[in-house]
Amino acid sequence: MLSRGTLRILPLGGIGEIGRNMTVFEFDDKLLIVDCGVLFPEESHPGVDLILPDFGPILERLDSVQAIVLTHGHEDHIGAVPYLLRHKPDIPIIGSQLTLAFVQAKLKEHRITPYTLAVTDKGTEKIGPFDIEFLAVNHSIPDAMALSITTPAGRILHTGDFKMDQLPLDGRLTDLNSFARLGDMGVDLLMIDSTNAEVPGFVPSEREIVPVLDRVFTRAAGRVIVASFASHVHRIQQIIDTAVMHNRKVAFVGRSMVRNMTVARDLGYLSIPANTLISLDELALLPDNRAVLICTGSQGEPMAVLSRIAHRNHEIAVGDNDTIVLASSLIPGNENAVNRVINGLTKLGAQVVHKSNALVHVSGHAAAGELRYVMNIVKPRYVMPIHGEWRHLAANAGIAESVGIPAERVLLTADGVAVDLADGQARISGYLPLREVYVDGASVGSVDESLLKDRRILGEEGFISVFAAVNFANCEVVVGPEIHERGVGQAHDHHEVVDKVRISLIAAMKDGVDDPHELSQRARKVVGKWVGTTHRRKPMIVPVVIQV
């Protein structure tokens, strides 16, 4: 039970991982949610589309949720909103104009019409017991915000995702003046982005990409195909500007890309000169050296446009004169998928430009020098690194200690670890075990680790089925045993193991076993021992024994 006057901070995702950012703030039985994002699956999650935060700890308390506040419009911060609103569609959503537009477009597909409140830089709102000030921060998407959250228990500064680009494309600087002002007023807890904490110095400006893109376009003999996050408005604006400079037309490819860029253009965040944007069909009628395609798939997602192009199952086919640009950073865990896409495109003859061989992407997250700068001007009593894997959190903790914050006031936490703040004092107060919630097609939460293990076994070791029909009265195997393999390897001679299964079944029936399920398990054991000893494999074995 949380004491009156104490503020509890409970991360449900985003700490110890890159993605599914979600934090619940609780004060006097009222809840405030900051961000509600998704995590993209890795190769160890076969068949999974998305991974959600665990809503379990708050599902019975949704009537106490005052609002969902969104720091910006990236999928790892907004992608799970529709899944939470399925449980209670009338929870208010608060954020900047572009962030809300991206969320509303997503919710429309889920047939949910939310209540939204748009806020602006330096705006304030009182949401239940939470006084919130919204502060501009620079990130790789327009309209990102940091949050100052104040209750009688103390003041928290939550940076969201941010960096300190001094020449931002939209002229919107991180509001360091307000950071310093809050620092002078007293910040009890700084929750600060850790993604780039291992990177020394300062992140380069977005403007440094422009000359590199210009060179890529100048050298491109045919089409230029650019893969980017569907929410990276700044990067796509740079691609469009460069295309116009080189007298090329642009087409968007991919459902999320078309949706988000339409929203960004309609709201004035994306400027597209007249007669520049055309359809994919119209683009096909142009000479290759006048064509630019902007698509999804920069992370190697199997169903995204670029992956389908690389695997030759998309209407767009690439060849020797085409140049592919992966204009994004590599999210940890996606290395193999991205490398497969690069290799596939290269094999088809395309020139592939990516972050490892050209400056075609600048991170949207503050490097160590920027993090140190913010800690120095905010002068927080406590620091809680957020948004990153363990090595990023640890590096950020080291930065906090380097600016003089005592180690005991640097709170290294994890998803499910609660931090309580009262009278300006913060402490770790407990741990709530959480699970990963998998979206698998239309199913949410029904896939568990045991099912994923089965899928991994099927994918890596193969499948063996065993079928037999028995007569208990005569202790006979009247049909089979029949053994079939899929994905185990080269064809095997089954005569030996078939005889062993028959002998085992007959012996069990003579011993009085009259349960088909028990006989199935005897068959599984015999086949498992045979395939493990003879072929050193551990496939999935599905035995079926029926009574006739």
Query: If we measure between CA atoms, which residue out of 137, 206, 136 comes closest to residue 371?
Result: 137
Instruction: Please indicate, yes or no, whether residues 26 and 156 belong to a single structural domain of this protein.
Output: yes
pLDDT of residue 355: 76
pLDDT of residue 42: 59
**Which of 353, 380, 404 lies at the terminal end of a domain, its last residue?**
353
- For the domain that residue 93 is a member of, what is the CATH number? 3.60.15.10
Instruction: Please indicate, yes or no, whether residues 195 and 250 belong to a single structural domain of this protein.
Output: no
Instruction: Please indicate, yes or no, whether residues 420 and 465 belong to a single structural domain of this protein.
Output: no
Beta strands across the sheet bearing 382-386: 124-127, 130-136, 145-151, 154-158, 189-193, 382-386
**CA separation for the pair 478, 508 (Å, rounded):** 15
Given a cut of 80, is residue 38 above it in pLDDT? yes
Instruction: Please indicate, yes or no, whether residues 34 and 72 belong to a single structural domain of this protein.
Output: yes
Which residue segment(s) compose the domain that 520 sits in?
461-547
Please tell me the number of Cα atoms within 13 Å of 36 on its side-chain side. 25
Given a cut of 80, is residue 48 above it in pLDDT? no
- Is 48 within the bounds of a domain? yes
**CA separation for the pair 360, 358 (Å, rounded):** 6
**CA separation for the pair 210, 244 (Å, rounded):** 13
pLDDT digits (tens, 9 = 90+) for 249-289: 999 998 889 999 999 999 999 999 999 999 988 888 899 99
- For the domain that residue 514 is a member of, what is the CATH number? 3.10.20.580
State which H helix or E strand residue 23 sits in: strand 22-27
Instruction: Please indicate, yes or no, whether residues 197 and 89 belong to a single structural domain of this protein.
Output: yes
Question: Which residues, in sequence order, are CB contacts of 268 under 8 Å at separation 6+?
Answer: none
For residue 31, which phi and psi values (nearest 5 degrees)? Answer: -115, 145
pLDDT digits (tens, 9 = 90+) for 62-81: 999 999 999 999 999 999 99
pLDDT of residue 532: 75
Burial 157-166 (b: 16+ CB within 10 A, else e): bbbbbbbbbe
Burial 9-28 (b: 16+ CB within 10 A, else e): bbbbbbbbbbbbbbbbbbbb
Domain count, the chain: 3
pLDDT digits (tens, 9 = 90+) for 165-200: 999 988 899 999 999 999 999 999 999 999 999 999
pLDDT higher at 154 or 329: 154
**CA separation for the pair 295, 256 (Å, rounded):** 9
Query: If we measure between CA atoms, which residue out of 478, 485, 529, 535 comes closest to residue 502?
Result: 478
State which H helix or E strand residue 227 sits in: strand 224-227
- Is 471 within the bounds of a domain? yes
Instruction: Please indicate, yes or no, whether residues 55 and 193 belong to a single structural domain of this protein.
Output: yes
Instruction: Please indicate, yes or no, whether residues 181 and 48 belong to a single structural domain of this protein.
Output: yes
Looking at the chain, the whole-number percentage of residues with pLDDT higher than 70 is: 91
pLDDT of residue 506: 79
**Which of 323, 353, 383 lies at the terminal end of a domain, its last residue?**
353
Burial of 97 (0-12, 13-18, 19+ CB in 10 A): middle
**CA separation for the pair 264, 17 (Å, rounded):** 29
**Which of 396, 414, 444 lies at the terminal end of a domain, its last residue?**
444
- Is 419 within the bounds of a domain? yes
Are 462 and 455 within 8 A, CB to CB?
Answer: no
Instruction: Please indicate, yes or no, whether residues 391 and 526 belong to a single structural domain of this protein.
Output: no
Residue with tokens 């049909």: 479
- Is 541 within the bounds of a domain? yes
Confidence of residue 93 (pLDDT cuts 50, 70, 90): very high
Given a cut of 90, is residue 304 above it in pLDDT? no
- For the domain that residue 222 is a member of, what is the CATH number? 3.40.50.10710
Instruction: Please indicate, yes or no, whether residues 26 and 165 belong to a single structural domain of this protein.
Output: yes
Task: Look over the chain and give the mean of its residue pLDDT values, rounded to a whole number.
Answer: 87
Other C-beta atoms closer than 10 Å to the C-beta of 31 total 23
pLDDT digits (tens, 9 = 90+) for 136-164: 999 989 999 999 999 999 999 999 999 99
- Is 315 within the bounds of a domain? yes
pLDDT of residue 491: 55
- Is 91 within the bounds of a domain? yes
Instruction: Please indicate, yes or no, whether residues 229 and 182 belong to a single structural domain of this protein.
Output: no
Looking at the chain, the whole-number percentage of residues with pLDDT higher than 90 is: 53
Confidence of residue 309 (pLDDT cuts 50, 70, 90): confident
pLDDT of residue 509: 82
Query: If we measure between CA atoms, which residue out of 21, 23, 45 comes closest to residue 32?
Result: 23
- Is 2 within the bounds of a domain? no
Mean pLDDT of 191-219: 92
Instruction: Please indicate, yes or no, whether residues 418 and 485 belong to a single structural domain of this protein.
Output: no
**CA separation for the pair 64, 132 (Å, rounded):** 17
Are 67 and 25 within 8 A, CB to CB?
Answer: no
pLDDT of residue 380: 98
Are 4 and 30 within 8 A, CB to CB?
Answer: no
Instruction: Please indicate, yes or no, whether residues 377 and 515 belong to a single structural domain of this protein.
Output: no
Burial 421-456 (b: 16+ CB within 10 A, else e): bbeeebeebeeeebebbbbbeeebbebeeeebeebe
- Is 1 within the bounds of a domain? no
